[in-house]
Amino acid sequence: MLFNSVDFAVFLPVVFFLYWFVVQKNLRLQNLLIAVASYFFYGWWDWRFLSLILFSTIVDYAIGLALSKEENVKKRKLLLWGSILVNLGFLGFFKYYNFFLDNFVSAFSFFGTELNANSLNIILPVGISFYTFQTLSYTIDIYRRKLEPTKNFIAFAAFVSFFPQLVAGPIERATNLLPQFYRPRTFDYNKAADGMRQILWGLFKKIVIADNCAEYANLIFNNSEDYSGSTLVLGALFFTFQIYGDFSGYSDIAIGTSRLFGFNLMRNFAFPYFSRDIAEFWRRWHISLSTWFRDYLYIPLGGSRGGISMKVRNTFAIFLVSGFWHGANWTFIVWGGLNALYFLPLLLLGKNRQNLGIAAQGKLLPNIREIVQMGSTFVLTVLAWIFFRAENLGHAFSYINDIFAPSLFEMPKVLPLLVLGLMALFILVEWVQREREHALEIHKGDGLLKKPVRWVVYISIIIAIFSFGGSQQEFIYFQF
């Protein structure tokens, strides 16, 4: 069920009505309704996926309880590894089986031995990478004694399957989201109103920006050999805004929807294209995944402690694994490695935390230095996205090679002025609102944004969605 579909437009009000007007006085029934609605939402794609998420929920619920009763260090480790192997085993089979098989066969073929191995026709369950990491954080935190296990199975099932963020995040920590299922929730108008504004901006990002950019990104990438270097640059630029509008738009809708039901999800994007270096970019892009890898992989490996060799190893480990998490293709691994190369000089020079604030904070315009920093970081990011979008490594390298041809200075063959204008407007709004949680967040002191003005903005966005929205596209991160 897509957020930008008629199905969801019917589903959400029905669940909202039942939640606040039928079962609002009973916390257990509220949690049960969330769990049932979430399973309905997830099963809308394919009911067969439900058995997988239910099994994962039961396994981690049981292991969590067992960990709380076990003091023997070896047995606790066995329980933890049981959770890791079950969760990553499912993820590995459904997402990476054919990748490893094909590369295994190719390796033998390289040495002159032909193997006869058939790939499997495996359907990748939607969102498996997201809820797998979410449940893993639960058992790992219990093992580390940072979290007490829940005895409330309904609350835990609702936490694992919570429909706003189930299929594309944010990847919530049990320490943040699970306790919210224990506490009574009352309707908060201000929170709900802010949630609606965030949903509206998320829909604008997805339907007007991402879906329009997708049309031209697909056209150019799928026929890259036919276009000039200048057109290929535009294609990379369109994909850069497609993936941002698509993924951050999903996160905005998820966070806003959760606020309608009294929940607070973690922030997942913080205007990353205004970053002044790659380290800042990764603090602002897909924050829930970046911090997950930091806390559960990078720091346990030693983090930035130790000598240069350890720093290099750990940096490449976190970025390569992050790339591989995105998909079973060498393009994602190279994308991760390229970002590691971007990040490593900052780490080794001790400059990876020099831009912790907001660009041009408290000012309307950035200074020259910030413009150069943001521009260079953006160019590096666009270059990396080419690997992310390309069909394979050969396509990525040929795409980049064709950019740096004499035709780079020709007039682009594809030049949709309306889409470029919408992108420019989008950038302007996000820049003005970059110090907020999201672009439509309202503060009490916003004197210029009186109620009539706000409603003009809301109605204008709604008109833009219906007037300029691109053809409906699935969210990119559903495939991960």
User: Which pLDDT score is estimated for 318?
Assistant: 93
- Based on the domain organization, do 374 and 426 belong to the same domain? yes
Residue where one domain finishes, among candidates 171, 186, 201: 186
- Based on the domain organization, do 180 and 109 belong to the same domain? yes
Whose tokens are 């009763």? That residue is 69
- The catalytic position among 326, 395, 438, 443 is 326
- Residue 416 within a domain: yes
- Residue 319 within a domain: no
How many whole angstroms separate alpha carbon 249 and alpha carbon 457?
Answer: 18
- Based on the domain organization, do 20 and 115 belong to the same domain? yes
Residue where one domain finishes, among candidates 125, 160, 186: 186
How many whole angstroms separate alpha carbon 74 and alpha carbon 459?
Answer: 60
User: Which pLDDT score is estimated for 126?
Assistant: 79
- Residue 461 within a domain: yes
User: Which pLDDT score is estimated for 450?
Assistant: 72
pTM, two decimals, is: 0.92
DSSP at 353: T
- Residue of 303, 304, 338, 313 whose CA lies nearest to 323: 338
* 227 neighbors 217 (Cβ within 8 angstroms): no
CB-CB neighbours of 359 under 10 Å: 20
- Residue 173 within a domain: yes
- Based on the domain organization, do 170 and 126 belong to the same domain? yes
The pair of structure tokens assigned to 75 is 């047995």
- Residue 334 within a domain: no
How many whole angstroms separate alpha carbon 37 and alpha carbon 166?
Answer: 12
Whose tokens are 């979008």? That residue is 389
- Based on the domain organization, do 166 and 24 belong to the same domain? yes
- Based on the domain organization, do 181 and 196 belong to the same domain? no
- Residue 233 within a domain: yes
How many whole angstroms separate alpha carbon 227 and alpha carbon 214?
Answer: 17
How many whole angstroms separate alpha carbon 26 and alpha carbon 316?
Answer: 49
- Based on the domain organization, do 18 and 85 belong to the same domain? yes
- Based on the domain organization, do 149 and 198 belong to the same domain? no
- Based on the domain organization, do 271 and 128 belong to the same domain? no
Can 286 be counted among the known catalytic residues?
Answer: no
Q: How far is CA 295 from the centre of its chain?
A: 17
Secondary structure (H, E, C), 204-273:
HHHHHHHHHHHHHHHHHHHCHHHCCHHHHHHHHHHHHHHHHHHHHHHHHHHHHHHHHCCCCCCCCCCCHH
- Residue 347 within a domain: no
- Residue 89 within a domain: yes
- Based on the domain organization, do 271 and 366 belong to the same domain? yes
Low-confidence ranges of the chain (pLDDT < 70): 97-122, 444-449, 477-480
CA-based end-to-end distance of the chain: 16
DSSP at 119: P
Number of domains in the chain: 2
The pair of structure tokens assigned to 459 is 């109605």
Residues in CB range of 39: below 8 A, 6 or more apart: 50, 53, 54, 161
Q: Which domain holds residue 53?
A: 6-186
Q: What are phi and psi of 215, to 5 degrees?
A: -60, -45
- Based on the domain organization, do 228 and 124 belong to the same domain? no
- Based on the domain organization, do 122 and 234 belong to the same domain? no
* 392 neighbors 207 (Cβ within 8 angstroms): no
Whose tokens are 């292991």? That residue is 63
Residue where one domain finishes, among candidates 131, 155, 186: 186
